[in-house]
């Protein structure tokens, strides 16, 4: 599997040959060793071999690019799925927190009313039971 640096280097050659500047970087050295890219001296119009070196991607290199891109797509989809799950969890937690706050507020208000008007509530029920006919 290619590293990101190797992928970026190999990607440069996808569109066609790129003139080689003589600098052999680690990613390019790896690509040449694995035969993902090759260096050659093209022929000029008069049939002589040019002094310039051209680096081109091979079929093996194209396959390596495609494999890296497939793996990258899979990783992106998995990450998006995990992010969506996390987002769903956060939404659920937010809803649960809001519901908890509302329920606590309602219970607190009701408890406050009961405590504040306890004597009135007791007298209401006392009067109610006194007015009921006895069996």
CATH of 4-100, one of 1.10.10, 1.10.287, 1.10.1060, 1.10.3470: 1.10.10
Whole-angstrom Cα distance, residue 62 to residue 67?
Answer: 9
Output the pLDDT for position 85: 78
Output the pLDDT for position 105: 92
Q: Where are the domains of the chain?
A: 4-100
Output the pLDDT for position 134: 66
pTM of the model: 0.53
- Give the residue ranges of the chain where pLDDT is below 70: 134-135
* pLDDT tens digits along 65-79: 999 999 888 888 888
Output the pLDDT for position 63: 92
Whole-angstrom Cα distance, residue 65 to residue 11?
Answer: 7
* pLDDT tens digits along 7-20: 888 888 888 888 88
Whole-angstrom Cα distance, residue 24 to residue 2?
Answer: 17
Adjacent-strand bridge partners of 54: 19, 40
Output the pLDDT for position 91: 82
Output the pLDDT for position 4: 87
């Amino acid at each position: 599997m290619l590293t990101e640096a190797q992928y970026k280097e190999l990607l440069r050659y996808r569109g066609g040959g790129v003139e080689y500047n003589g600098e052999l970087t680690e990613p390019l050295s790896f690509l040449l060793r694995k035969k993902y890219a090759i260096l050659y001296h093209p022929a000029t119009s008069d049939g002589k071999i040019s002094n310039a070196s051209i680096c081109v991607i091979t079929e093996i290199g194209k396959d390596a690019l495609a494999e890296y891109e497939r793996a990258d797509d899979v990783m992106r989809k998995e990450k998006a799925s995990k992010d969506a799950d996390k987002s769903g969890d956060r939404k659920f937690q937010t809803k649960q927190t809001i519901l908890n706050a509302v329920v606590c507020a309602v219970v607190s208000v009701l408890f406050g009313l009961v405590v504040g008007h306890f004597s009135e509530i007791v007298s209401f029920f006392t009067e109610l039971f006194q007015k009921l006919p006895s069996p």
